[in-house]
Chain A
Amino acid sequence: MVLTRALTLIVALVLISPIFGVIGAEAVGYTEPLEVTAEMIGLKEKVLWPGLFPDYTVSGLPDVLGYVVSGLVGVAILLMPVLLRDRLGADKGSG
């Protein structure tokens, strides 16, 4: 039950996240303090590995949807140990 509640909360957070991470971000046009600092001293970012979903985008999908999809994939990877074990546990119980 604790797990179900935690999982529901996690998925809910990801579903509402574009309001903050995409829509709000575009409205305000923010940068992080680290980027501000780096600019002041002339440090430049060199992208070596853009990631499978660069900056929480999925190619071909609108930003809001890409943010949610990439977030759900990230959550699923991190929860793999729990999800796998619960499946195994259930199989053992029924078998």
Chain B
Amino acid sequence: MHIPDGFLDPLTASLLYLISLFFLYLSARRYFREGGDVYYLSVAAASIFAAQMLNWPIPGGTSAHLVGGALAAILIGPFGGCLAMFMNLLVQCLLMGDGGITALGANAFNMAIVDVFVGYAAYKALMRLTHNRFLSAFVGGWLGILTAALACGVEIGISSQLFSLNVTVPVMAVWHGLLGLVEGLITASIVVHLDRRGWFSRGHLP
């Protein structure tokens, strides 16, 4: 879902840079004010970076890899999750050219903000309703990816000269709605596994 250079028009790209910088500033302020530690950001970012290298090729010509925004948010909180996802995106962009340098704001918006905060909100809401951690994390992971893909579809749709939202939004939503099921499953499995090892009761959260 990493947008390369050349897909976005300058206005969309710069607007998303501004929005993302604003969210990153707010997240950093909240995270460190609440006693958050760089340690968690660093380990979370490196784990997600490594996990994203595992592209699962799907016969028929597409691929899925974990994005991990909701997962990071559930494990270290949404503000830390936002910062860790951005650190990951920054290294991917500068080191690997994965995600364009002009599209970094947009990629941060989709994967470090939308995926993180929507996924986390869905997880929290469902936890309150059902108290089922697997289900809540599954839906959080799935919805985070789906909404991030919708945002991505809108961004490239309004950037195209054909203004083709009617193509980009449904195509991105259908693909990532399906691939998101894998994301949900991985998110839920890791969250439940760590929960059994006392992640949420031992106060790992910053």
Q: Is the interface of B mostly helix, strand, loop or mixed?
A: helix
Query: Is A49's CB under 8 angstroms from B97's CB?
Result: yes
Q: Which bracket fits the contact residues of B? A: 35 or more
B21-78, CB < 8 A from A: 38-39, 41-43, 45-47, 49-51, 53-59, 61-63, 65
Q: How far is the CB of A52 from chain B (nearest CB, A)?
A: 5
User: Known contacts A30-B63, A78-B87; is A51 also within 8 Å of B95 by CB?
Assistant: yes
User: Known contacts A10-B46, A42-B162; is A28 also within 8 Å of B6 by CB?
Assistant: no
> Is A41 in contact with chain B by the CB < 8 A criterion?
yes
> Is B157 in contact with chain A by the CB < 8 A criterion?
yes
User: Known contacts A40-B167, A41-B156; is A71 also within 8 Å of B50 by CB?
Assistant: yes
Query: Is A47's CB under 8 angstroms from B4's CB?
Result: yes
Query: Is A55's CB under 8 angstroms from B96's CB?
Result: yes
> Is B187 in contact with chain A by the CB < 8 A criterion?
no
B95: which of A32, A33, A38, A77 is its contact (CB, 8 Å)?
A77
Query: Is B93's CB under 8 angstroms from A41's CB?
Result: no
Query: B162: which A residues are within 8 A, CB to CB?
Result: 41-42
Query: A50: which B residues are within 8 A, CB to CB?
Result: 97
Query: B57: which A residues are within 8 A, CB to CB?
Result: 20, 24-25, 27-28, 30
Query: A56: which B residues are within 8 A, CB to CB?
Result: 53, 96, 98
Query: Is B42's CB under 8 angstroms from A81's CB?
Result: yes
A1-30 vs B, CB cutoff 8 Å, 1 = contact: the mask equals: 001001001110110110011001101111
Query: Is B172's CB under 8 angstroms from A37's CB?
Result: yes
Query: Is B6's CB under 8 angstroms from A46's CB?
Result: yes
Query: Is A55's CB under 8 angstroms from B46's CB?
Result: no
Query: B45: which A residues are within 8 A, CB to CB?
Result: 78
B56: which of A20, A45, A80 is its contact (CB, 8 Å)?
A20
A58-86 vs B, CB cutoff 8 Å, 1 = contact: the mask equals: 00000000010011011101111110010
Task: Tell me the complex Cα distance, A48–B13, Å.
Answer: 14
A28: which of B42, B61, B157 is its contact (CB, 8 Å)?
B61
Q: How far is the CB of A74 from chain B (nearest CB, A)?
A: 5
Task: Tell me the complex Cα distance, A77–B55, Å.
Answer: 21
Query: Is B55's CB under 8 angstroms from A25's CB?
Result: yes
A10: which of B47, B87, B161 is its contact (CB, 8 Å)?
B47
Query: A85: which B residues are within 8 A, CB to CB?
Result: 38-39
Q: How far is the CB of B91 from chain A (nearest CB, A)?
A: 5
Interface pairs A-B: 7 shortest CB-CB = A51-B97, A46-B6, A33-B175, A28-B57, A17-B53, A13-B50, A78-B46
Q: List 8 A-B contacts (CB under 8 A).
A: A33-B179, A43-B7, A44-B6, A51-B93, A53-B95, A70-B96, A81-B42, A82-B43
